[in-house]
């Protein structure tokens, strides 16, 4: 019988350190230790008994405030999209546009300590509803303008309102 495609996987610890760049310039996602797999036939989620919750700085609002629906696979995908938006922010802010290229910083570098607690992240992300700064000068460059808009749409407080991976792929393919 024919396979219906690849199994759905949500990473649950997506961050820049878990993205490897190959010699040919393509990327590979590493460290699947917290990943959950969705079985579309039985509609079940395979969650490892691992108690580690991921990297606090990259946790989506619904993970930080524990409102994520652990029984619904799409919830995990939405949380990954939030983290992906943070990774894109890390990349985009290093773009040399018009002679401007700020030094590397982690997301929320200006709002939380270097190793923030879940409570510190929850206050910033959920209570204060803050997100990484998108500089006004990005508006002067089409690619950065589009990236900034896309990031904001990855960071919505409501996970279901965030962009899908397919929408992100299509948006990025139009930039190149």
Phi then psi for residue 21, to 5 deg, are: -105, 120
Catalytic choice (13, 39, 65, 110) = 13
Phi then psi for residue 65, to 5 deg, are: -95, 5
User: The domain 54-175 belongs to what CATH superfamily?
Assistant: Transferase(Phosphotransferase) domain 1 (1.10.510.10)
Annotation marks residue 43 as catalytic? no
Q: Is the pLDDT of residue 5 over 80?
A: no
Percentage of the chain modeled with pLDDT above 70 = 94
Tens digit of each residue's pLDDT (9 = 90 or more) over 73-117: 999 999 999 999 999 999 999 998 878 788 999 999 999 999 999
- Residues 63-70 have a mean pLDDT of 92
Tens digit of each residue's pLDDT (9 = 90 or more) over 124-167: 999 999 999 999 999 999 999 999 999 999 999 999 999 999 99
């Amino acid at each position: 019988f024919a396979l219906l495609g690849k199994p759905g996987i949500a990473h649950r610890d997506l961050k820049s350190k878990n993205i490897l760049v190959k010699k040919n310039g393509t990327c590979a996602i590493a460290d699947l230790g917290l990943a959950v797999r969705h079985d579309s036939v039985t509609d079940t989620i395979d969650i490892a008994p691992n108690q580690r919750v991921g990297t606090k700085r990259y946790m989506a609002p619904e993970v930080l405030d524990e409102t994520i629906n652990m029984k619904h696979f799409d919830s995990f995908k939405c949380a990954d999209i939030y983290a992906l938006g943070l990774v894109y922010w890390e990349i985009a802010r290093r773009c040399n546009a018009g002679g401007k290229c700020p030094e590397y910083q982690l997301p929320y570098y200006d709002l939380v300590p270097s190793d923030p607690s879940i409570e510190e992240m929850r206050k910033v992300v959920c209570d204060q509803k803050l997100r990484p700064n998108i500089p006004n000068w990005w508006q002067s460059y089409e690619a950065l303008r589009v990236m900034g808009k896309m990031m904001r749409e990855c960071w919505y407080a409501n996970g279901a309102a965030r962009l899908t991976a397919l929408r992100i792929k299509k948006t990025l393919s139009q930039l190149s």
